[in-house]
Amino acid sequence: MSECLFCRIVAKEVPARLVFADDRAVAIRDINPQAPTHLLVIPRKHIPTLLDLADDDASLMGHLQLVAAKLAREEKLEERGFRVVINCGEGAGQSVFHVHVHLLGGRPMRWPPG
Ligand code: 5GP
Ligand code: ZN
């Protein structure tokens, strides 16, 4: 059994509130939401961080962005705006070392982020 939480969620060994799934990615609701909408778009492939991407992963990472945009529309976030974030490394707040895209929206977003 994988030690990685998101591999286990992808494999349905750990339950999650699934909002999207295809052959390359799943999207779930964050267990500790930081905004009214807080989704995580997770590739099925285990890649620890952005720094571990290979050239071959370019299409996959683009796909994650397209899924985030589709979900933003479904969550009716186009007009108010939303944020798409990848944390890389503990210093930037990454806590699960399986790369993922946060989709945050439904409240005003400050800049710069904390
Ligand atoms: P990171 O901090 O690595 O950028 O993002 C990890 C995210 O995963 C956090 O926002 C955290 O709340 C979320 N998370 C951690 N454990 C679980 C879980 O078991 N289920 C779900 N749905 N989200 C989780
Ligand atoms: Zn993993």
pLDDT value at residue 1: 73
Q: What are phi and psi of 77, to 5 degrees?
A: -100, 0
pLDDT value at residue 114: 82
CA–centroid distance, residue 58 to ligand 1 (Å): 23
Q: What is the mean pLDDT of the chain?
A: 97
Q: Whose CA is nearest to atom 4 of ligand 1?
A: 94
Q: What is the mean pLDDT of residues 28-48?
A: 98
pTM: 0.98
pLDDT band at 25 (very low <50, low <70, confident <90, very high): very high
State how far the Cα of 53 lies from the Cα of 51, in Å rounded to an integer: 6
CA-to-CA dists, residue 33 to 38, 67, 89, angstroms:
5, 19, 20
Q: What is the mean pLDDT of residues 31-43?
A: 98
Q: What is the mean pLDDT of residues 44-49?
A: 98
State how far the Cα of 101 lies from the Cα of 99, in Å rounded to an integer: 7
CA–centroid distance, residue 38 to ligand 1 (Å): 10
| Side chain identity, residue 77 | L
From the alpha carbon of 94, which atom of ligand 1 is closest?
3
Q: What is the mean pLDDT of residues 6-27?
A: 98
How does pLDDT run across 71-106, given as a tens digit for each residue?
A: 999 999 999 999 999 999 999 999 999 999 999 999
State how far the Cα of 65 lies from the Cα of 71, in Å rounded to an integer: 10
pLDDT value at residue 2: 86
pLDDT value at residue 106: 98
